[in-house]
Amino acid sequence: MTKPVPAPPRAPRRRPRGGAWARYARALRTPRGITATVLLLVLVALALLAPVLWPGGYDEQTRDALAPPSAEHWLGTDEFGRDILTRTIYGLRTDLSLILTAVPVSLVIGTLLGLSGYLSSWFGSLMQRVLDIILGFPGLILGIIIVLVIGPGWTALFFAIVIAGLPGFGRLARGGLLSEQQREYVLAARTLGVNKSTVMVRHILPNVVDPLLVQASIYMVVAIFIEAGLSIVGLGINPPKPSLGAMLNVGARYVETLPSYVLGPGAVLLLLALAFTLLSDALNQAATRR
């Protein structure tokens, strides 16, 4: 019998302990993570509480159209005399409802498409070519086509965001799959006879999910701009319902007379983008420092 070997004096390394959740939780405790989380929580709380804080809704009109900022209307009123601040918050509500549903859906579908090569390699290649075709259309053109099919509105934006995100998620997932499949621990599990789905769930997926989550938070920002872009050309949210993009579109006309019309929604949009960028940075740091 070999004698048990004395354990070498090992450093208590600053390495992630525990599972994936603990790692993500740690990512959120970094300065960037904290800033992002606080910012996002405030924005989401505002959006959720909008009907309570502004019970009048986004359609309440006053006599004054295009009134400058005042104590009553912090950002002034729009061309129909509606409070711009209220509409900005309701617009934020629309945007958040869009991206917080569409991006996860896109993430899941894209990942599945990317990982489909695990079932059969020719099916995987076929799916990649499908994603290449989607990638061939610029986001705006793709959006316009979808709007033409479905008609403008929340649903069209939802599908535009879902579809435009697929190539990114799909390719990342496939890249991860291809490299993980060659890893020795994956080969070891296969040789032991661990069944295929368990190998996927235990050994492959946890190791490809990090870049995908980073991509998802980056794509949140892109999704906001897809909404804004389509709304700016008038193919987004239908009036009178506000969205940040639609407000920017209209507000741009009054940028000289009433700059706060664009500054309000613009600032919220920036804060939202900032929050997701910080979040993706924090996650990325946690993901690469292994």
Closest to another protein by CB, 97 vs 285, is 285
Closest to another protein by CB, 52 vs 192, is 192
Type of residue numbered 67: A
CB of 122 to another protein, least distance (A): 6
Asked whether 47 and 92 are in contact (CB, 8 A), the reply is: yes
**Using CA atoms, how far apart are residues 158 and 99, in angstroms rounded to an integer?**
8
**Using CA atoms, how far apart are residues 214 and 200, in angstroms rounded to an integer?**
20
Closest to another protein by CB, 183 vs 253, is 183
Asked whether 93 and 198 are in contact (CB, 8 A), the reply is: no
**Using CA atoms, how far apart are residues 46 and 96, in angstroms rounded to an integer?**
11
Closest to another protein by CB, 79 vs 132, is 132
Closest to another protein by CB, 60 vs 132, is 132
Type of residue numbered 108: V
Pick from 125, 155, 257, 288 the residue near another protein by CB under 8 A: 125
Instruction: Show the site string, 128-167: x = touches another protein by CB under 8 A, - = not.
Output: -x--------------------------------------
Q: How far apart are the first and last CA of the chain?
A: 35
* Burial group, residue 54, by CB count within 10 angstroms (0-12, 13-18, 19+): middle
**Using CA atoms, how far apart are residues 171 and 167, in angstroms rounded to an integer?**
6
Residues in the interface with another protein (CB under 8 A) total: 39
User: Binding of another protein at residue 192 (CB under 8 A)?
Assistant: yes
Q: Which residues contact 105 (CB under 8 A, 6 or more apart)?
A: 162
Pick from 31, 193, 197, 256 the residue near another protein by CB under 8 A: 193
Among residue numbers 195 through 234, which ones bind another protein (CB under 8 A)? Answer: 198, 202-203, 206-207
Pick from 44, 66, 100, 126 the residue near another protein by CB under 8 A: 126
Alpha helices, H only, 116-233: 121-136, 139-150, 154-181, 184-192, 196-198, 205-232
CB of 202 to another protein, least distance (A): 7
Among residue numbers 8 through 37, which ones bind another protein (CB under 8 A)? Answer: 8-15, 17, 19-20
The token pair at 152 is: 């403008």
> Which spans of this chain sit near another protein (rule: CB under 8 A)?
1-15, 17, 19-20, 122, 125-126, 129, 183-185, 187-194, 198, 202-203, 206-207, 290
